[in-house]
Structure 1
Amino acid sequence: MVTAAIGLEFVKQFLNLNNPPEFVFACCRDPATATDLKEIVKSNSSVIIVELDVTKQESVEKAKSHVASIVGTKGLNLLINNSGLINSQRIGDVTREDMLKCYEVNAIGPLMVAQAFLPLLRQAAGQQSSEPMSCSKAAIINISSGVASITENSSGGMYPSRASKAALNMITSNLSLDLKTDGILCTAINPGWVKTEMGGPNALITTEESVEGIMSVLEKLKGEEDSGRFYHGVKGQTIPW
């Protein structure tokens, strides 16, 4: 499941795989305005648009029910939490509202989505119980950010973004431990500084380059040792928490 500009590129690249998924559930807050996504759907019946606002629990539950009605007992193999909000406020400017809004989108929302879709992920994992953890078995991939790394923070600022994405990293670590016995892989990935509406025109890489790197990482993830880590999507290496 995918969302936003990077999410749209995920849809395209999943469809271009040699063995594409049976279904690609593309999530967005307002399907009516998702023009590019609707164009893809016209020629790809495997792509299903799902309305999802991660800040609204009713929307999360409705999205899960929609997906469940389609996958049936097969379950869901891969959940990509790609919701994101950036806020660069410094200590003199940051407000309580800034912090709460970023936590809602960047940390709480992805956790609630993971919780809601967990039964479907468990169904998928159970059908390959003897296989090692992987994204083709069952996995939760949380799209994090380089600013989430406490170790690599050398410039300060960005209180809402840094703190909320660091919280997402902790949620990812927790999920990797809690879902180990289910055989569900959980990891966080930094997509890099991407030229999107959020990343801005001065960013270093395109959505195509970012997602190509992430897809390469996803393909290589295998076994418990690759779960509960923080990866750089383009460079492929782990990032210190």
Structure 2
Amino acid sequence: PEHIFATYRDPAKSQELLNLKGKNLRILQIDVSNFENHKELYTKVSGELTGAGLNVLFNNAGISTKNARITGARGDDLLNSFITNTIAPILLTKTFLPLLKEAKKTQNLNYNAAIVNMSSTLGSIELNEQGGLYPYRCSKAALNAATKSMSLDLKDTGIITISMHPGWVRTEMGGKNAPMDIETSCADMLKTILNLNSSHNGKFIQYDGKELPW
């Protein structure tokens, strides 16, 4: 791609990203939970694109708390999770819609633009057989609902919207016991995103393209 934009919130936890080099890579700082920052990010990105449009918006920011059962549910955990995991992706997508609508098909894509909302199987109501994890489960289920609505609202624009489960990955959130490394998850997700078409619009899929139940 001619342009890749990567964002981070906390420099102390993002050194690996900040160390990356590439003539097409632009690294920008933003706290997506501060909605006032969305327009500033849009201005920076649109200034770099100079009318080219944005082919993929990847809403990846997410938080998870450790409180598992109903007896440990806390209001601030629920609110913060919904702000970062659900509300921020909705409002960021709204802000970036003009750039997504400007995007045109490239030789490598079957669509003009795509919105990829990072979800999780923990947000699947049908797959929930263990309970608990109220802030994360509920906020990701709500994000899945937003994905479905976006896919319907934007179906005539050439923009595809999906929810994507990255797998259980060895990250700060996933923990060291997760079975999948970051490189494998990212490579599989990239392949899946590059192979999206209109039949995927409004679907919940995992890193390897397999469709998941809501």
Query: Partner of 1:150: helix, strand, or coil?
Result: coil
* 1:85 maps to which of 63, 77, 80: 63
Higher helix share: 1
Q: Which residue of structure 2 aligns with residue 37 of structure 1?
A: 17
Unaligned runs of 5+ in 1: 1-20
Whether 1:98 aligns to 2:73 is no
Which runs of 4 or more aligned residues in structure 1 lie more than 3 Å from their structure 2 counterparts after TM superposition? Answer: 30-34
Match of 2:24 in 1: 46
- How many angstroms does 1:133 deviate by? 5.4
Alignment-derived partner of residue 148 in structure 2: 173
The aligned amino acid for 1:228 is: G
Structure 2: gaps (5+ residues): none
Tell me what 1:231 maps to. Answer: 205
Matches within 5 A, 1:42-81: 44-81=22-59
Cα RMSD after superposing both structures: 1.7
**Is the contact made by 1:88 and 1:157 (CA closer than 8 Å) also made in structure 2?**
no
- Classify 1:51/1:237 alpha carbon distance in 2 versus 1 (closer, same or farther; 3 Å): same
Q: Distance in 1 between matches of 2:100 and 2:141?
A: 24
Q: Distance in 2 between matches of 1:107 and 1:205?
A: 25
What is the TM-score when the length of structure 2 is the normalising length? 0.93
Cα deviation for residue 37 of structure 1 reads 2.4
User: 2:75 & 2:187 partners in 1: Cα distance?
Assistant: 37
1:185 and 2:185 correspond: no
TM-score (norm 1): 0.83
| Alignment-mate amino acid for residue 84 of structure 2 | V
Q: CA deviation at 1:212?
A: 1.6
Q: Secondary structure of 2:44's partner?
A: helix
Shift of 1:31: 5.0
**Rounded Cα–Cα distance in structure 2 between residues aligned with 1:31 and 1:206:** 22
Summarize the alignment of residues 77-156 of structure 1 with structure 2, pairs less than 5 Å apart: 77-89=55-67, 90-124=69-103, 127-128=104-105, 134=111, 137-156=112-131
Tell me the secondary structure at the aligned position of residue 88 of structure 2: helix
AA matched with 2:139: S
Is residue 75–residue 122 contact of structure 1 (8 Å, CA) maintained in 2? Answer: yes
Report the CA distance between 1:199 and its aligned residue: 0.5
